[in-house]
Structure 1
Amino acid sequence: MMISLTELLQRSSANYLIYDLGRRLSAISQQQFADIEAQKQPYPFPLQQHACFAIAFWQEADQPFIWFLKFPVDERGLLDLSTRDQFCHNVITLLGNQITEALSDEQQQQLQNAPGLFTPGDDKRAAFNARLKLDLAQPPSIYFESAQSYLRQPEPLDSWQQLGLQGIHDVVARLRQDEATCMAITNNLQNYPAELWQPLAIAMEHQDLPASLYHYLAAELDQQVSNPSDDVTPRLHALRALAGNHTPAFGEQLENWLKSYQQHPLTDDEFIIIAGRLYQQLHDHQLVMVFFEALAEHNNQALLVGLFTDLVRLPLLRPQLLMMLQSSDLAKPLFKALQQLKGNRS
């Protein structure tokens, strides 16, 4: 029987941390990862039918080794173990149980070709590096101070172009321990160049922010919804930045917005971000129903089918979405849209 990653890590006597790199960066406990590997529980947040992990492991004071791993999952979210087994086989063949030993160039090349390894995008890699250094009580990157200085006092205004992406992620990851910078961001956010909003929002999407910043961002979103402009970009960035806000108050805010679809319609991109970033809020039965009712009124069947197909693969949402698919007690536009979806699936 093939050894699991958990067993491989434990046999090496390495310290290790595991992170989910699928939809949003988040820590996974060692026990939860072991249960996912053993198919005792589904991978919680599949992305394009895959589970994505970052595993950092090290011996004592050494710098950690990093594996970025991507394995297929089935429609229930259970791990397809064949790719995992191939990766473990390659590691054992090359290194045995001594996975923290230095690799030769040839071994490094062979390991890079192992099934299951992948390269995250720059944003997720920066978010992961920022979180890992924080969790290991290590100093941030050399780009941290310049990013912190600019976010506290954005002068000269166009100097943001000199900021390193890693520095922005480092600052955002440490905002819960940096009240001064957090307060400066709330005070200066309207003054930052529009081009800075996107990398800043993406960094915020992947970290757990102070409650005060979530409150400010939610208020900004509410203001933008109530007083819409032709440029929806600020709303999109605010939605991304609020990805980690799981409070009932924010759920109610989203629900009220979706219920007022006729007065405050959403764009395709806003529906996509809510589904792709705020999926944990949609665990609320009433909110997910209101979301799909608004999406049905949006009259884009292809978008509705795509988002339903994506969300039904999340174990968190799968039971209630399958029940919705079978229900006849739905608003007429949603019932009609789901009937079409069922016809396409059959």
Structure 2
Amino acid sequence: MSDFSSISALLNQSGASYRIFDMGRRISKLTSDQFEKLEQGLIPYPSPYLHHAWLALMLWNPKQTDQNVVWFLKFPLDEQGFLVQAVRDDFLNRLLQNISQMLNQTSLDDSNDALKDNPFSFTPDQEKMAMFHSMANKLTNAGASHFYSGAKAYLGGEMGWKNWSGVGYQGVADLVTRLDEDNNSAYLINAIPHLPTEPLVALCTCLEHASPNHRIATALQRRLESAISDAHASSLIAALLRGLSNIHNDVMVKEAIETVLTSTHAGNAEILTAIATRCHTSLQHPDLLSLYLEKLAVSEAGQAGFSRILADLMFIPVMRILILQAFRNPQRSDALTTAVGNMFGKQFAGSV
């Protein structure tokens, strides 16, 4: 067995084609150069989530793309957001031991997984797994799942908007992954105004991993404006913000968040969590961040939610700086001052 000093070295010498994805806040690609720098401790992890790096390493045979394997890995990060080298080394040692044992077996079965008993592996939730599966299939030209045609028929209005139960979530993910194919964007633009809550939420949880065009974003924005008047629509509003979170028009996202934070839904914990975990780049606007912090301080999430959400946000270096600046705002409310004091201590609250 060769002596591999890094995951990058192992991947580069495997002979397989590979891609690396961030699986934290949303599914996004990491370049091999980025990953090598992360491993070397030259750059912090770009989008930490819950103080960890959440990764998918996909390897496949370039001559037989159906022969592929995916490793889902979760690594803790240090206080500055860098990969912990000792953890990476521990993972590599465990991986190489398993591979060595597998090579010595006369027969292999599913239990002989390279990540068997590895504490750094994880399983993505069902929604994220469906979207990753679609992206992986497109990457290897494997084609969409058999659910794709049903999702197209439903979103094309052919089945009736109430007949959602027979549509596979995987089909929606396949369609969203292929917005640039088969007139799929037009299907969504026409469908969004009519979709019941459940399929619209499912669609939005897929769209957060894509880059919807302006017309799709406008359709989502109109549904958001309509939902705000419904006192029972907080979960839908949270989903719509997630669906809008990765569009290219930052002004539209910012305006959507402002609209929600100045509505009766502003204190809803699910909405505030969606903004923090999916729309954190919009919170880099100081005025929007201040509004968000004020609403979070008095929200139904309570002190525990305030502390947990901010601890996650402040692990992103740029957000930490901006949040500390917002704490120093002399116009901050007494409620925000109290929440900050309860999180960091009254001495800290008095010093900012």
TM-score category (smaller protein): 0.7 to 0.9
Quote the Cα distance in structure 2 between the aligned partners of 1:331 and 1:245.
31
Query: In the alignment, what sits opposite 1:84?
Result: 88
Residue 221 of structure 2 corresponds to which residue in structure 1? 218
Q: Which residue is 1:236 aligned to?
A: 238
SS of residue in 2 equivalent to 1:305: helix
Residue 338 (structure 1) aligned with residue 344 (structure 2): no
Indicate whether 1:287 and 2:284 are aligned.
Answer: no
- Choose from 51, 71, 74 the match for 2:53: 51
Task: Give the drift of 1:200.
Answer: 1.8
Q: 1:319 corresponds to which letter in structure 2?
A: I
- Report the CA distance between 1:303 and its aligned residue: 2.5
2:146 aligns to what SS in structure 1?
A: coil
Instruction: Note if contact 1:86-1:115 (Cα within 8 Å) is conserved in structure 2.
Output: no
| Residue aligning to 2:185 | 182
Q: Report the alpha carbon displacement of residue 328 of structure 1 after superposing the two structures with TM.
A: 5.1
Separation in structure 2 between the aligned mates of residue 51 and residue 109 of structure 1, nearest angstrom:
22
TM alignment of 1:1-346, pairs within 5 A: 3-62=5-64, 63-95=67-99, 104-105=108-109, 108-109=112-113, 111-178=115-182, 180-225=183-228, 227-254=229-256, 256-257=258-259, 260=262, 265-298=266-299, 300-325=302-327, 327=328, 329-333=330-334, 334-343=336-345
Higher RCO, Cα 8 Å, sep 6+: 1
User: Matched residues, percent identical?
Assistant: 27
Contact map agreement 2:151 2:172 (CA 8 A) in 1: yes
Q: Which moved more, 1:8-17 or 1:157-166?
A: 157-166
The alpha carbon displacement at 1:280 in A equals: 1.9
Give the structure with the higher percent helix: 1
Q: 2:196 is matched by which residue type in structure 1?
A: P
Q: Secondary structure at the match of 1:64?
A: strand
- Give RMSD over aligned pairs: 2.8
Q: After the TM superposition, list the runs of 4 or more consecutive aligned residues in structure 1 that deviate by more than 4 angstroms.
A: none
Instruction: State the number of aligned residues.
Output: 339
C-alpha deviations, 1:31-54, integer Å up to 9, x for none?
111111111111122222221111
User: Could you list the per-position Cα deviations for residues 187-228 of structure 1 after superposition, in whole angstroms to 9, with x for gaps in the alignment?
Assistant: 222433332223222111222222221122123223433x34
Q: Is the 8 A contact 1:150 1:160 kept in 2?
A: yes
Q: TM-score, normalised by structure 2?
A: 0.86
1:110-155 C-alpha deviation (Å, 9 max, x unpaired):
6322232221111111111111222233311121111111111241
Stretches of structure 2 that go unaligned for 5 or more consecutive residues are: none
Q: Which amino acid is the alignment partner of residue 311 of structure 2? A: T
Give the SS at the match of 2:45. coil
Distance 1:91 1:339 in 2: 44
